[in-house]
Amino acid sequence: MLDVRGLKKVYEGSGRRVEAVRDLTFTVEAGELVCLVGPSGCGKTTLLKCMGGLLTPTAGEVHLAGRKVSGPPPGMAFVFQEYGRSLFPWMRVADNVELPLKQKDLSKARRRELVTDALESVDLAEAAGAYPWQLSGGMQQRVAIARALAYEPEVLLMDEPFAAVDAQTRADLEDLVRRLWRERGITILFVTHDIDEAVYLGERVIVLSASPTVVREQLKVDLPDERDQLHTRVTPRFAELRTHVYEQIQAAKRGVVQDAVVTKSDTPPLR
Amino acid sequence: MKRFALRLVFVLALPALLVAVWWLASDGSTNVFWPPLRTILQTFPDVWTAERLRTDVLPSIWRLAAGYALAAVAGVAVGTVIGSYRRVRAVCEPVLEFLRAVPPPVLIPVIMLFAGIGDTMKVTVIASGCVWPILLNTVEGVRAVDPVMLETARSYGITGPSRLRDLVLRSASPQIFAGLRQALSIGIILMVISEMFAASNGIGFTIVQFQRSFAVPDMWTGILVLGLLGYLLSVVFQLVERRALAWYHGLRDSTRRSP
Protein backbone atom coordinates (compact mmCIF):
# COMPACT_ATOMS: atom_id res chain seq x y z
CA MET A 1 0.00 0.00 0.00
CA LEU A 2 2.65 2.48 1.11
CA ASP A 3 6.08 1.93 -0.28
CA VAL A 4 9.09 4.01 0.75
CA ARG A 5 12.25 3.39 -1.27
CA GLY A 6 15.66 4.84 -0.57
CA LEU A 7 14.23 8.04 0.85
CA LYS A 8 16.79 10.75 1.55
CA LYS A 9 16.28 14.32 2.63
CA VAL A 10 19.00 16.92 2.97
CA TYR A 11 18.23 20.45 4.10
CA GLU A 12 20.51 23.03 2.64
CA GLY A 13 20.58 26.65 3.60
CA SER A 14 22.94 29.46 4.62
CA GLY A 15 26.09 27.38 4.31
CA ARG A 16 24.76 24.59 6.46
CA ARG A 17 23.97 21.16 5.12
CA VAL A 18 21.85 18.98 7.36
CA GLU A 19 21.23 15.44 6.37
CA ALA A 20 17.99 14.65 8.20
CA VAL A 21 17.11 11.36 6.53
CA ARG A 22 19.84 9.27 4.94
CA ASP A 23 18.29 6.16 3.45
CA LEU A 24 14.92 4.77 4.39
CA THR A 25 13.24 1.78 2.82
CA PHE A 26 10.15 0.11 4.22
CA THR A 27 6.62 -0.82 3.23
CA VAL A 28 3.27 -0.70 4.93
CA GLU A 29 0.80 -3.32 3.74
CA ALA A 30 -2.88 -2.56 3.21
CA GLY A 31 -4.79 -2.75 6.46
CA GLU A 32 -1.67 -2.73 8.61
CA LEU A 33 -1.07 -0.59 11.69
CA VAL A 34 2.62 0.27 11.77
CA CYS A 35 4.35 2.38 14.39
CA LEU A 36 7.49 4.32 13.64
CA VAL A 37 9.58 5.01 16.69
CA GLY A 38 12.97 6.61 17.03
CA PRO A 39 15.05 8.81 19.30
CA SER A 40 13.91 12.42 19.51
CA GLY A 41 15.11 14.60 16.69
CA CYS A 42 15.59 11.64 14.36
CA GLY A 43 13.74 13.16 11.42
CA LYS A 44 10.37 11.49 11.97
CA THR A 45 8.48 14.59 10.99
CA THR A 46 10.65 15.11 7.92
CA LEU A 47 9.91 11.55 6.88
CA LEU A 48 6.17 11.98 7.35
CA LYS A 49 6.14 15.21 5.40
CA CYS A 50 7.99 13.56 2.54
CA MET A 51 5.47 10.73 2.55
CA GLY A 52 2.57 13.15 2.67
CA GLY A 53 3.91 15.07 -0.29
CA LEU A 54 4.46 18.21 1.79
CA LEU A 55 8.22 18.04 1.26
CA THR A 56 10.13 16.89 -1.80
CA PRO A 57 12.74 14.26 -0.93
CA THR A 58 16.31 14.81 -2.08
CA ALA A 59 16.42 11.25 -3.35
CA GLY A 60 14.23 8.18 -3.28
CA GLU A 61 10.55 7.71 -3.87
CA VAL A 62 7.31 7.20 -2.02
CA HIS A 63 4.57 5.18 -3.66
CA LEU A 64 1.00 5.11 -2.45
CA ALA A 65 -1.07 2.26 -3.87
CA GLY A 66 1.29 2.02 -6.82
CA ARG A 67 1.30 5.74 -7.66
CA LYS A 68 4.30 7.93 -7.02
CA VAL A 69 3.73 10.68 -4.48
CA SER A 70 4.59 14.13 -5.81
CA GLY A 71 2.44 16.53 -3.82
CA PRO A 72 -0.26 15.78 -1.26
CA PRO A 73 -2.05 12.67 -2.57
CA PRO A 74 -5.83 12.52 -2.24
CA GLY A 75 -5.66 9.09 -0.62
CA MET A 76 -3.78 10.26 2.43
CA ALA A 77 -5.01 11.98 5.57
CA PHE A 78 -2.92 13.60 8.25
CA VAL A 79 -3.42 13.88 11.99
CA PHE A 80 -1.00 16.43 13.40
CA GLN A 81 0.41 16.71 16.87
CA GLU A 82 -0.74 20.30 17.28
CA TYR A 83 -4.49 19.72 17.25
CA GLY A 84 -5.12 23.26 18.48
CA ARG A 85 -3.39 24.70 15.42
CA SER A 86 -4.65 22.15 12.95
CA LEU A 87 -8.39 22.67 13.43
CA PHE A 88 -9.81 25.96 12.20
CA PRO A 89 -11.11 27.90 15.21
CA TRP A 90 -13.58 29.91 13.11
CA MET A 91 -15.46 26.82 12.04
CA ARG A 92 -17.71 24.59 14.06
CA VAL A 93 -16.68 20.98 14.55
CA ALA A 94 -18.91 19.61 11.79
CA ASP A 95 -17.69 22.26 9.33
CA ASN A 96 -14.08 21.44 10.16
CA VAL A 97 -14.73 17.80 9.36
CA GLU A 98 -16.65 18.66 6.21
CA LEU A 99 -14.24 21.22 4.72
CA PRO A 100 -11.78 18.75 3.10
CA LEU A 101 -14.73 16.84 1.64
CA LYS A 102 -15.85 19.91 -0.27
CA GLN A 103 -12.79 19.50 -2.47
CA LYS A 104 -13.99 16.05 -3.44
CA ASP A 105 -16.77 15.49 -5.89
CA LEU A 106 -19.42 14.45 -3.38
CA SER A 107 -23.09 15.29 -3.03
CA LYS A 108 -24.16 17.33 -0.05
CA ALA A 109 -26.11 14.41 1.40
CA ARG A 110 -23.10 12.12 1.10
CA ARG A 111 -20.87 14.70 2.76
CA ARG A 112 -23.28 15.05 5.66
CA GLU A 113 -23.45 11.30 5.99
CA LEU A 114 -19.66 11.00 6.16
CA VAL A 115 -19.40 13.79 8.73
CA THR A 116 -22.07 12.30 10.98
CA ASP A 117 -20.57 8.84 10.72
CA ALA A 118 -17.04 10.05 11.47
CA LEU A 119 -18.13 12.10 14.46
CA GLU A 120 -20.18 9.20 15.81
CA SER A 121 -17.26 6.82 15.59
CA VAL A 122 -15.14 9.12 17.77
CA ASP A 123 -18.11 9.67 20.16
CA LEU A 124 -18.46 13.34 19.36
CA ALA A 125 -21.84 13.39 17.61
CA GLU A 126 -23.21 15.84 20.16
CA ALA A 127 -20.28 18.25 19.73
CA ALA A 128 -20.94 18.84 16.02
CA GLY A 129 -22.21 22.37 16.62
CA ALA A 130 -19.45 23.42 19.03
CA TYR A 131 -16.32 25.36 18.18
CA PRO A 132 -13.03 23.46 18.62
CA TRP A 133 -11.83 25.80 21.37
CA GLN A 134 -14.88 24.92 23.43
CA LEU A 135 -13.62 21.34 23.65
CA SER A 136 -10.86 19.74 25.73
CA GLY A 137 -7.54 18.79 24.14
CA GLY A 138 -8.44 15.14 23.83
CA MET A 139 -11.78 15.98 22.23
CA GLN A 140 -10.07 18.32 19.77
CA GLN A 141 -7.71 15.57 18.73
CA ARG A 142 -10.72 13.29 18.27
CA VAL A 143 -12.21 15.91 15.96
CA ALA A 144 -8.97 15.86 13.97
CA ILE A 145 -9.20 12.08 13.78
CA ALA A 146 -12.83 12.32 12.66
CA ARG A 147 -11.79 14.77 9.95
CA ALA A 148 -9.22 12.26 8.73
CA LEU A 149 -11.74 9.39 8.82
CA ALA A 150 -14.39 11.30 6.90
CA TYR A 151 -11.81 11.94 4.20
CA GLU A 152 -11.82 8.17 3.57
CA PRO A 153 -8.08 7.88 3.09
CA GLU A 154 -6.19 4.84 1.88
CA VAL A 155 -3.52 5.59 4.45
CA LEU A 156 -3.82 7.54 7.67
CA LEU A 157 -0.61 9.27 8.79
CA MET A 158 -0.45 10.24 12.45
CA ASP A 159 2.41 12.48 13.57
CA GLU A 160 2.86 12.07 17.33
CA PRO A 161 -0.83 12.80 17.71
CA PHE A 162 -1.05 12.22 21.45
CA ALA A 163 2.17 13.91 22.56
CA ALA A 164 0.32 16.97 23.83
CA VAL A 165 -2.51 15.39 25.83
CA ASP A 166 -2.50 14.11 29.40
CA ALA A 167 -1.76 10.46 30.20
CA GLN A 168 -5.32 9.33 30.85
CA THR A 169 -6.68 10.94 27.72
CA ARG A 170 -3.78 9.46 25.86
CA ALA A 171 -4.69 5.93 26.93
CA ASP A 172 -8.27 6.50 25.77
CA LEU A 173 -7.11 7.85 22.44
CA GLU A 174 -4.78 4.89 21.94
CA ASP A 175 -7.71 2.54 22.44
CA LEU A 176 -9.75 4.64 20.04
CA VAL A 177 -7.10 4.25 17.34
CA ARG A 178 -6.98 0.49 17.91
CA ARG A 179 -10.77 0.28 17.74
CA LEU A 180 -11.05 2.38 14.56
CA TRP A 181 -8.32 0.38 12.91
CA ARG A 182 -10.07 -2.91 13.69
CA GLU A 183 -13.55 -1.68 12.81
CA ARG A 184 -12.67 0.06 9.60
CA GLY A 185 -9.70 -1.88 8.35
CA ILE A 186 -7.80 1.28 7.44
CA THR A 187 -4.05 1.42 6.97
CA ILE A 188 -2.34 3.49 9.65
CA LEU A 189 1.21 4.72 9.98
CA PHE A 190 1.66 6.04 13.48
CA VAL A 191 4.75 8.05 14.40
CA THR A 192 5.66 8.39 18.05
CA HIS A 193 8.62 8.82 20.35
CA ASP A 194 6.87 6.83 23.09
CA ILE A 195 8.13 3.24 23.08
CA ASP A 196 5.25 1.83 25.14
CA GLU A 197 2.76 3.49 22.85
CA ALA A 198 4.45 2.06 19.78
CA VAL A 199 4.43 -1.49 21.14
CA TYR A 200 0.89 -1.22 22.51
CA LEU A 201 -0.59 0.11 19.27
CA GLY A 202 1.37 -1.46 16.46
CA GLU A 203 1.19 -4.72 14.60
CA ARG A 204 4.70 -3.90 13.58
CA VAL A 205 7.21 -1.44 14.97
CA ILE A 206 9.86 0.18 12.80
CA VAL A 207 12.76 1.44 14.89
CA LEU A 208 14.67 4.31 13.35
CA SER A 209 18.23 5.32 14.03
CA ALA A 210 19.26 8.79 15.11
CA SER A 211 19.59 11.45 12.42
CA PRO A 212 20.76 10.96 9.64
CA THR A 213 18.04 8.39 9.76
CA VAL A 214 18.04 4.79 8.55
CA VAL A 215 15.80 1.89 9.54
CA ARG A 216 17.46 0.18 12.47
CA GLU A 217 15.06 -2.68 12.95
CA GLN A 218 11.63 -3.91 11.97
CA LEU A 219 9.87 -5.77 14.71
CA LYS A 220 6.68 -7.79 14.53
CA VAL A 221 4.50 -7.26 17.58
CA ASP A 222 3.08 -10.69 18.36
CA LEU A 223 0.63 -9.53 20.99
CA PRO A 224 -3.00 -10.65 20.60
CA ASP A 225 -5.31 -8.48 18.48
CA GLU A 226 -7.50 -7.87 21.48
CA ARG A 227 -5.52 -5.42 23.59
CA ASP A 228 -6.45 -3.33 26.58
CA GLN A 229 -4.59 -0.91 28.76
CA LEU A 230 -5.02 -2.94 31.91
CA HIS A 231 -3.88 -6.40 30.82
CA THR A 232 -1.77 -6.02 27.72
CA ARG A 233 0.70 -3.68 29.37
CA VAL A 234 1.49 -6.18 32.15
CA THR A 235 1.99 -9.26 30.00
CA PRO A 236 5.56 -10.61 29.96
CA ARG A 237 5.62 -10.42 26.17
CA PHE A 238 4.79 -6.71 26.23
CA ALA A 239 7.63 -6.14 28.71
CA GLU A 240 10.04 -8.08 26.51
CA LEU A 241 9.09 -6.18 23.40
CA ARG A 242 9.29 -2.77 24.98
CA THR A 243 12.62 -3.63 26.61
CA HIS A 244 13.93 -4.71 23.25
CA VAL A 245 12.78 -1.55 21.50
CA TYR A 246 14.10 0.54 24.35
CA GLU A 247 17.54 -1.04 24.01
CA GLN A 248 17.47 -0.42 20.30
CA ILE A 249 16.63 3.24 20.82
CA GLN A 250 19.36 3.61 23.41
CA ALA A 251 21.84 2.03 21.04
CA ALA A 252 20.65 4.39 18.35
CA LYS A 253 21.28 7.33 20.66
CA ARG A 254 24.79 6.15 21.43
CA GLY A 255 25.27 5.95 17.70
CA VAL A 256 24.54 9.66 17.61
CA VAL A 257 27.40 10.40 19.94
CA GLN A 258 29.84 8.53 17.73
CA ASP A 259 28.75 9.98 14.40
CA ALA A 260 27.74 13.49 15.14
CA VAL A 261 30.01 16.49 15.09
CA VAL A 262 28.23 18.12 17.97
CA THR A 263 27.69 15.95 21.01
CA LYS A 264 24.91 16.74 23.38
CA SER A 265 25.22 15.83 27.02
CA ASP A 266 21.70 14.65 27.65
CA THR A 267 21.50 11.40 29.55
CA PRO A 268 18.68 9.03 28.70
CA PRO A 269 15.70 9.34 31.07
CA LEU A 270 15.50 6.78 33.86
CA ARG A 271 12.41 4.68 34.09
CA MET B 1 -32.55 43.20 34.06
CA LYS B 2 -30.87 44.69 37.10
CA ARG B 3 -27.44 44.08 35.60
CA PHE B 4 -28.53 45.65 32.36
CA ALA B 5 -29.72 48.75 34.24
CA LEU B 6 -26.42 48.92 36.08
CA ARG B 7 -24.49 48.72 32.82
CA LEU B 8 -26.65 51.44 31.34
CA VAL B 9 -25.83 53.67 34.31
CA PHE B 10 -22.11 53.00 33.81
CA VAL B 11 -22.31 53.78 30.11
CA LEU B 12 -24.32 56.95 30.52
CA ALA B 13 -22.75 58.39 33.67
CA LEU B 14 -19.70 60.07 32.15
CA PRO B 15 -21.45 61.54 29.07
CA ALA B 16 -24.20 62.90 31.31
CA LEU B 17 -21.61 64.47 33.62
CA LEU B 18 -19.74 66.10 30.72
CA VAL B 19 -22.93 67.50 29.23
CA ALA B 20 -23.88 68.86 32.65
CA VAL B 21 -20.47 70.51 33.05
CA TRP B 22 -20.74 72.06 29.58
CA TRP B 23 -24.28 73.21 30.32
CA LEU B 24 -23.38 74.89 33.62
CA ALA B 25 -20.07 76.35 32.45
CA SER B 26 -21.55 77.88 29.32
CA ASP B 27 -24.91 78.91 30.74
CA GLY B 28 -24.09 82.53 31.49
CA SER B 29 -21.73 82.93 28.54
CA THR B 30 -22.01 86.13 26.55
CA ASN B 31 -19.05 85.27 24.31
CA VAL B 32 -20.33 85.09 20.74
CA PHE B 33 -18.06 82.17 19.89
CA TRP B 34 -18.97 80.14 23.00
CA PRO B 35 -22.76 80.27 23.08
CA PRO B 36 -24.55 78.57 25.99
CA LEU B 37 -25.35 74.89 25.40
CA ARG B 38 -28.99 75.84 26.00
CA THR B 39 -28.90 78.07 22.88
CA ILE B 40 -27.13 75.40 20.81
CA LEU B 41 -29.72 72.78 21.69
CA GLN B 42 -32.55 75.22 20.99
CA THR B 43 -31.09 75.91 17.57
CA PHE B 44 -30.59 72.21 16.81
CA PRO B 45 -34.11 71.21 15.64
CA ASP B 46 -34.37 74.36 13.48
CA VAL B 47 -31.11 73.60 11.67
CA TRP B 48 -31.21 69.80 11.29
CA THR B 49 -34.61 69.42 9.67
CA ALA B 50 -35.62 66.42 7.59
CA GLU B 51 -34.86 68.49 4.52
CA ARG B 52 -31.33 69.19 5.75
CA LEU B 53 -30.77 65.52 6.55
CA ARG B 54 -31.66 64.70 2.97
CA THR B 55 -29.61 67.42 1.29
CA ASP B 56 -26.53 67.45 3.53
CA VAL B 57 -26.24 64.46 5.84
CA LEU B 58 -27.17 61.78 3.31
CA PRO B 59 -24.66 62.93 0.66
CA SER B 60 -21.93 62.92 3.32
CA ILE B 61 -22.80 59.41 4.42
CA TRP B 62 -22.99 58.25 0.83
CA ARG B 63 -19.48 59.59 0.08
CA LEU B 64 -18.11 58.05 3.23
CA ALA B 65 -19.70 54.68 2.45
CA ALA B 66 -18.45 54.67 -1.13
CA GLY B 67 -14.90 55.70 -0.22
CA TYR B 68 -14.76 53.32 2.71
CA ALA B 69 -16.08 50.38 0.70
CA LEU B 70 -13.63 51.09 -2.09
CA ALA B 71 -10.75 51.24 0.40
CA ALA B 72 -11.88 48.03 2.08
CA VAL B 73 -12.05 46.06 -1.16
CA ALA B 74 -8.78 47.44 -2.51
CA GLY B 75 -6.97 47.19 0.84
CA VAL B 76 -7.95 43.58 1.47
CA ALA B 77 -7.29 42.51 -2.11
CA VAL B 78 -3.89 44.16 -2.47
CA GLY B 79 -2.96 43.33 1.12
CA THR B 80 -3.68 39.65 0.54
CA VAL B 81 -1.44 39.58 -2.52
CA ILE B 82 1.39 41.41 -0.76
CA GLY B 83 1.04 39.29 2.36
CA SER B 84 1.07 36.03 0.42
CA TYR B 85 4.27 36.51 -1.57
CA ARG B 86 7.56 37.37 0.06
CA ARG B 87 9.03 38.82 -3.14
CA VAL B 88 6.12 41.18 -3.69
CA ARG B 89 6.39 42.25 -0.08
CA ALA B 90 10.10 43.05 -0.38
CA VAL B 91 9.41 45.25 -3.41
CA CYS B 92 6.34 47.00 -2.02
CA GLU B 93 7.14 47.58 1.63
CA PRO B 94 9.33 50.74 1.34
CA VAL B 95 6.86 52.35 -1.05
CA LEU B 96 3.96 51.50 1.22
CA GLU B 97 5.70 53.01 4.23
CA PHE B 98 6.27 56.23 2.27
CA LEU B 99 2.73 56.45 0.96
CA ARG B 100 1.31 55.75 4.37
CA ALA B 101 3.39 58.54 5.87
CA VAL B 102 1.87 61.14 3.54
CA PRO B 103 -1.05 62.77 5.41
CA PRO B 104 -4.12 62.19 3.22
CA PRO B 105 -5.50 65.76 3.46
CA VAL B 106 -2.50 67.11 1.56
CA LEU B 107 -3.60 64.96 -1.34
CA ILE B 108 -6.84 66.90 -1.70
CA PRO B 109 -5.37 69.67 -3.90
CA VAL B 110 -3.63 67.05 -6.02
CA ILE B 111 -6.68 64.85 -6.36
CA MET B 112 -8.77 67.94 -7.21
CA LEU B 113 -6.54 68.50 -10.23
CA PHE B 114 -7.51 65.28 -11.93
CA ALA B 115 -10.73 64.24 -10.22
CA GLY B 116 -12.39 67.66 -10.30
CA ILE B 117 -14.36 69.06 -7.39
CA GLY B 118 -17.35 66.73 -7.48
CA ASP B 119 -18.17 63.60 -5.56
CA THR B 120 -15.43 61.65 -7.35
CA MET B 121 -12.81 63.83 -5.69
CA LYS B 122 -14.31 63.35 -2.22
CA VAL B 123 -14.74 59.60 -2.59
CA THR B 124 -11.17 59.34 -3.88
CA VAL B 125 -9.82 61.34 -0.96
CA ILE B 126 -11.70 59.20 1.57
CA ALA B 127 -10.62 55.97 -0.12
CA SER B 128 -6.98 57.04 -0.44
CA GLY B 129 -6.81 57.79 3.26
CA CYS B 130 -8.74 54.75 4.49
CA VAL B 131 -6.90 52.21 2.41
CA TRP B 132 -3.59 52.27 4.33
CA PRO B 133 -4.55 50.87 7.71
CA ILE B 134 -6.69 48.23 6.00
CA LEU B 135 -3.94 47.26 3.60
CA LEU B 136 -1.12 47.13 6.13
CA ASN B 137 -3.19 45.18 8.66
CA THR B 138 -4.26 42.72 5.98
CA VAL B 139 -0.62 42.17 5.01
CA GLU B 140 0.26 41.41 8.63
CA GLY B 141 -2.78 39.18 9.08
CA VAL B 142 -2.12 37.17 5.94
CA ARG B 143 1.55 36.78 6.84
CA ALA B 144 0.69 35.48 10.28
CA VAL B 145 -1.46 32.54 9.15
CA ASP B 146 -0.41 29.54 11.21
CA PRO B 147 1.99 27.25 9.27
CA VAL B 148 0.37 24.16 10.78
CA MET B 149 -3.00 25.29 9.42
CA LEU B 150 -1.48 25.94 6.01
CA GLU B 151 0.06 22.47 6.05
CA THR B 152 -3.23 20.93 7.13
CA ALA B 153 -4.98 22.65 4.25
CA ARG B 154 -2.34 21.47 1.80
CA SER B 155 -2.44 17.89 2.94
CA TYR B 156 -6.23 17.82 2.62
CA GLY B 157 -6.15 19.35 -0.83
CA ILE B 158 -7.76 22.60 0.30
CA THR B 159 -6.42 24.93 -2.36
CA GLY B 160 -7.44 27.85 -4.54
CA PRO B 161 -10.57 29.81 -3.62
CA SER B 162 -11.39 27.60 -0.65
CA ARG B 163 -7.94 28.13 0.83
CA LEU B 164 -8.36 31.88 0.47
CA ARG B 165 -11.93 32.02 1.75
CA ASP B 166 -11.89 29.37 4.47
CA LEU B 167 -8.35 29.76 5.74
CA VAL B 168 -6.31 32.82 4.80
CA LEU B 169 -8.96 35.53 5.00
CA ARG B 170 -10.68 34.03 8.04
CA SER B 171 -7.40 33.70 9.86
CA ALA B 172 -6.47 37.29 9.00
CA SER B 173 -9.92 38.66 9.84
CA PRO B 174 -9.09 39.88 13.36
CA GLN B 175 -6.30 42.05 11.93
CA ILE B 176 -8.41 43.12 8.98
CA PHE B 177 -11.08 44.31 11.37
CA ALA B 178 -8.50 46.23 13.38
CA GLY B 179 -7.56 47.99 10.14
CA LEU B 180 -11.18 48.64 9.25
CA ARG B 181 -11.76 50.21 12.65
CA GLN B 182 -8.83 52.63 12.25
CA ALA B 183 -9.97 53.39 8.73
CA LEU B 184 -13.45 54.31 9.89
CA SER B 185 -12.27 57.21 12.03
CA ILE B 186 -9.88 58.36 9.30
CA GLY B 187 -12.78 58.19 6.85
CA ILE B 188 -14.99 60.45 8.92
CA ILE B 189 -12.22 63.03 9.26
CA LEU B 190 -11.54 62.98 5.52
CA MET B 191 -15.23 63.18 4.71
CA VAL B 192 -15.48 66.46 6.63
CA ILE B 193 -12.20 67.89 5.33
CA SER B 194 -12.95 67.06 1.72
CA GLU B 195 -16.30 68.82 2.05
CA MET B 196 -14.63 71.94 3.31
CA PHE B 197 -12.90 72.25 -0.06
CA ALA B 198 -15.03 73.15 -3.02
CA ALA B 199 -18.32 71.56 -2.05
CA SER B 200 -21.96 72.53 -2.36
CA ASN B 201 -23.42 70.23 0.26
CA GLY B 202 -22.48 67.88 3.07
CA ILE B 203 -21.95 68.18 6.81
CA GLY B 204 -18.46 69.66 6.48
CA PHE B 205 -19.72 72.20 3.96
CA THR B 206 -22.61 73.17 6.24
CA ILE B 207 -20.34 73.74 9.22
CA VAL B 208 -17.97 75.97 7.22
CA GLN B 209 -20.94 77.79 5.77
CA PHE B 210 -22.34 78.59 9.23
CA GLN B 211 -18.94 79.66 10.47
CA ARG B 212 -18.47 82.07 7.56
CA SER B 213 -21.90 83.60 8.11
CA PHE B 214 -21.26 83.95 11.87
CA ALA B 215 -24.15 81.62 12.69
CA VAL B 216 -22.11 80.35 15.62
CA PRO B 217 -24.75 78.29 17.50
CA ASP B 218 -25.69 76.64 14.17
CA MET B 219 -22.03 75.81 13.60
CA TRP B 220 -21.88 74.14 17.01
CA THR B 221 -24.92 72.02 16.17
CA GLY B 222 -23.05 70.78 13.10
CA ILE B 223 -20.17 69.67 15.30
CA LEU B 224 -22.64 67.84 17.55
CA VAL B 225 -24.11 66.08 14.50
CA LEU B 226 -20.63 64.95 13.47
CA GLY B 227 -19.95 63.60 16.93
CA LEU B 228 -23.24 61.73 16.97
CA LEU B 229 -22.63 60.32 13.48
CA GLY B 230 -19.18 59.10 14.45
CA TYR B 231 -20.55 57.49 17.59
CA LEU B 232 -23.39 55.81 15.70
CA LEU B 233 -21.04 54.41 13.06
CA SER B 234 -18.71 53.03 15.70
CA VAL B 235 -21.64 51.30 17.44
CA VAL B 236 -22.72 49.74 14.13
CA PHE B 237 -19.12 48.70 13.48
CA GLN B 238 -18.86 47.04 16.87
CA LEU B 239 -22.06 45.09 16.26
CA VAL B 240 -20.77 43.81 12.92
CA GLU B 241 -17.38 42.99 14.38
CA ARG B 242 -18.83 41.13 17.33
CA ARG B 243 -20.80 38.94 14.96
CA ALA B 244 -18.01 38.33 12.47
CA LEU B 245 -15.32 37.71 15.08
CA ALA B 246 -17.41 35.83 17.64
CA TRP B 247 -15.07 32.84 17.23
CA TYR B 248 -12.02 35.00 17.86
CA HIS B 249 -13.30 36.51 21.10
CA GLY B 250 -14.41 33.06 22.25
CA LEU B 251 -11.02 31.57 21.43
CA ARG B 252 -9.21 34.36 23.26
CA ASP B 253 -11.39 33.99 26.34
CA SER B 254 -10.86 30.23 26.39
CA THR B 255 -7.07 30.49 26.12
CA ARG B 256 -7.07 33.15 28.82
CA ARG B 257 -8.93 30.82 31.17
CA SER B 258 -6.53 27.92 30.58
CA PRO B 259 -3.14 29.16 29.35
Rg (CA), chain A: 19
Q: In which element (H, E) is residue A111 found?
A: helix A108-121
> How many domains does the structure of chain B reveal?
1
Please state, in angstroms and rounded to a whole number, the distance separating the CA atoms of residues A266 and A135: 36
Chain A neighbors of B156, CB-CB under 8 A: 72, 77-78, 99-100, 103, 147, 151
- Substitution target in A90, A91, A149 with the highest count of B β-carbons within 10 Å is A90
Assess if residue B20 is contained within a domain. Answer: no
Assess if residue B95 is contained within a domain. Answer: yes
Assess if residue B42 is contained within a domain. Answer: no
Which pLDDT score, from 0 to 100, does residue A262 have? 34
Chain A neighbors of B159, CB-CB under 8 A: 103
Question: B170 and A131: CB-CB below 8 Å?
Answer: no
Closest CA–CA distance from residue A87 to any residue of chain B (Å)? 7
Question: A131 and B250: CB-CB below 8 Å?
Answer: yes
C-alpha distances in Å from residue B188, one per residue of B12, B62, B193, B205, B240: 24, 12, 9, 14, 18
* Domain around B148: 51-257
Question: Which CATH number is B107's domain given?
Answer: 1.10.3720.10
Assess if residue B35 is contained within a domain. Answer: no
- What is the distance, to the nearest Å, from the Cα of residue A10 to the centroid of all Cα atoms in its chain? 22
ipTM of model: 0.84
Q: Cβ-count burial of B234 within 10 angstroms (0-12 exposed, 13-18 middle, 19+ buried)? A: middle
Question: A88 and B255: CB-CB below 8 Å?
Answer: no
- Substitution target in A79, A88, A152 with the highest count of B β-carbons within 10 Å is A88
Assess if residue B34 is contained within a domain. Answer: no
Assess if residue B108 is contained within a domain. Answer: yes
Assess if residue B144 is contained within a domain. Answer: yes
Closest CA–CA distance from residue A55 to any residue of chain B (Å)? 10
| Strands of A76-79's sheet in order across | A67-68, A59-64, A2-13, A16-28, A213-220, A204-208, A33-37, A187-192, A155-159, A76-79
Cis peptide before A73 (omega within 30 of 0): no
- Helix, strand, coil percentages (3-state) for chain A, rounded to 5, are 40, 25, 35
Chain B neighbors of A161, CB-CB under 8 A: none
Q: What is the pLDDT of residues B214-252, one digit of tens each?
A: 999 999 999 999 999 999 999 999 999 999 999 999 999
Per-residue pLDDT of chain A (271 residues; tens, 9 = 90+): 889 998 888 888 777 888 888 888 999 999 999 999 988 777 888 888 888 888 888 998 899 988 888 888 888 999 988 888 899 999 999 999 999 999 888 899 999 999 999 999 999 999 999 999 999 989 999 999 999 999 999 899 999 888 888 888 999 999 999 999 998 889 999 999 889 999 999 999 999 888 788 888 888 888 888 888 888 888 989 999 989 998 888 888 777 443 433 333 333 333 3
Assess if residue B1 is contained within a domain. Answer: no
